[in-house]
Chains A and B, each alone.
Chain A
Amino acid sequence: MSDQAAIYLGQGGAHAPPAAGAEPLVQRTPNAVLHTPARHRQLPRWLLGLLLPAALLAAAELAVRSGTLAPNLLPPPSAILETIAELALRGLATHVAASTLRVAVGFTAGALAAILLGAATALHRPAHAIFDPSVQALRAIPSLAWVPLLLLWLGIDEAPKLVLIAIGAFFPVYMGVSAGIRGVDRKLVEVARLYRLTAAQQARQVLLPGALPSILTGLRNGLGMAWMFMVAAELIAASKGLGYLLSDGRETSRADIVLATILLLAVLGKASDSLMLRLEQRLLAWRDSFESPDHA
């Protein structure tokens, strides 16, 4: 035998001397590692996340092509992709930009108001007693109930859409900020008192970072609500935007346009949520929280 070692499997285990005439099952060079730990061959997470939608799209394609489903009710995914390509040539970007801008402006306004009011009610008991019951009552109002009032007050231009989106974003962010600040560990606040921090320093150096996990969860939920309220706003009165495309698709009985728009909304919503998630991971790297190894 050459300078190569060999692993023999059989009676006596891997290190037993070979029986006469036995063939080595695995040849190894001197540099080879014998006992490598078993490693899971896993697909990248983003690819795993695509498996379910891809399977559903493939099933839909098959169902339509085999005649199980009527194409006028559920166009095949290939046709939806063609529609998206066709829409792209007819100003789809303008619609996407209009909706995204509305979400950005409405979400920013709603989130800022929520952060200010949430912080005020969490930091001052009188403010909590005055504002919180009303905020909780307003939170229970369904989004569509605001629409007639906003149309009456603000007309059918941009303002009512932005206000509706801001309302949608406001409540989750308010809840996140208020609950987050009120939930900061009292013991850490005691340390801040021991170091004679002023109220403003305590808020900036202890309460804000301590409440950050809850605030970011509120912002993430608020952003999701902003996309939903944007569609509600644009469905009612808009000349551009993804809500308008949905409305247009329904009026012209173009299920492919409706589905293409829904697909775009899903992609945009997921993209913005991923950005928020990345921000959350970056800002909360200090957290000593449960993270399953399979989830990392």
Chain B
Amino acid sequence: MLDIRIDSKSYGDQKVLGPLHLQLKQGEVVSLLGASGSGKSTLLSIVAGLDRDWRGSLQLDGAPLQGVHPAISLVFQEPRLFPWLTVAENLRFGLPSADDCGCEVDLLLEETGLHGLGQRLPKQLSGGQAQRAAIARGLMRRPRVLLLDEPFSAVDAFTRMKLQDLLLRIAAHHQLTILQVTHDIDEALYLSDRILVLPAGGGPLSGEFSVPAARPRSRSDAGLLPLKHQILDLLHLAEQTA
């Protein structure tokens, strides 16, 4: 469904990504892990169309992708809500006014647990509510692929768990393909169908793991411990070679 082929991506003389080839299937949840500087966020920027300075190709259902595309949405590490707009206005941001019936906004607010908060300003939201609003905004244009750049790293552990469950519900409901960057192995194991480990300084994947657990998963699934240790060892190795 989504085919990502990166020949090379560099910042000046420093190679960050590539050669790399990833393929994501419809409805798949994939997590990207890797040492700092392994280009995880850069990869998301490339797929989102924000970074144009790289060599390679992107295809969605066989059709080449150029630049920003409405079928692909990105949720950042911090909510990045426009502080002068209400939550509902943030959700409608950038939409042609013809699409602005308000029903989609209400549905998504309901779905993300923000019912009744549409008229609030971002400063009146908690960290978790703001991140929910950011996810809801990311879903407004009914994307097929949702990119998430450590979206839960700035919230407390309890809120994070609730947001993870919310994400899984939304992904299932909208048949979304999700590619997320995370530093949290437990989160990757809980959410993902596949976990990819990026090497530092470019090159092919250091590791690719399928998560052999049915949903709904338990957060303390002992059966996933060997996989966790395997990924941890790989990350330690990547950290040492970085």
Q: What is the interface of chain A, defined by CB distance below 8 A to chain B?
A: 187-188, 190-197, 205-206, 209-210, 212, 285-288
A213 to chain B, nearest CB (A): 10
Please report the C-alpha to C-alpha distance between residue A160 and residue B78 in the assembled complex, in whole angstroms. Answer: 52
Q: Does B11 lie at the interface of the complex (its beta carbon under 8 Å from any beta carbon of A)? A: no
Q: Are B123 and A191 in contact, CB atoms less than 8 angstroms apart?
A: no
Closest residue of B by beta carbon distance from A289 = B123
Q: Are A209 and B82 in contact, CB atoms less than 8 angstroms apart?
A: yes
Extra contacts, 12 of them, besides A194-B74, A288-B123 (Cβ < 8 A), are: A187-B78, A187-B80, A188-B80, A191-B76, A191-B80, A191-B82, A194-B94, A205-B93, A209-B82, A212-B84, A286-B84, A287-B123
Those of B103-136 within 8 Å (CB) of chain A:
121-123
Please report the C-alpha to C-alpha distance between residue A187 and residue B83 in the assembled complex, in whole angstroms. Answer: 12
Contact with A along B83-108 (1 / 0, CB 8 A): 11100000001100000000000000
Partner of A197, one of B80, B85, B94: B94
Could you tell me how many residues of chain B have their Cβ less than 8 Å away from some Cβ of chain A? Answer: 19
Q: Are A286 and B94 in contact, CB atoms less than 8 angstroms apart?
A: no
Q: Are B82 and A196 in contact, CB atoms less than 8 angstroms apart?
A: no
Q: What is the interface of chain B, defined by CB distance below 8 A to chain A?
A: 48-50, 68, 70, 73-74, 76, 78, 80, 82-85, 93-94, 121-123
Please report the C-alpha to C-alpha distance between residue A1 and residue B10 in the assembled complex, in whole angstroms. Answer: 88
Please report the C-alpha to C-alpha distance between residue A108 and residue B121 in the assembled complex, in whole angstroms. Answer: 32
Please report the C-alpha to C-alpha distance between residue A195 and residue B89 in the assembled complex, in whole angstroms. Answer: 14
Q: Are A188 and B94 in contact, CB atoms less than 8 angstroms apart?
A: no
Please report the C-alpha to C-alpha distance between residue A191 and residue B79 in the assembled complex, in whole angstroms. Answer: 10
Please report the C-alpha to C-alpha distance between residue A212 and residue B85 in the assembled complex, in whole angstroms. Answer: 13
* Most A CB within 10 A of own CB, among B78, B80, B94: B94
Q: Are B82 and A206 in contact, CB atoms less than 8 angstroms apart?
A: yes
CB-CB < 8 A to B49: which residues of A? 194
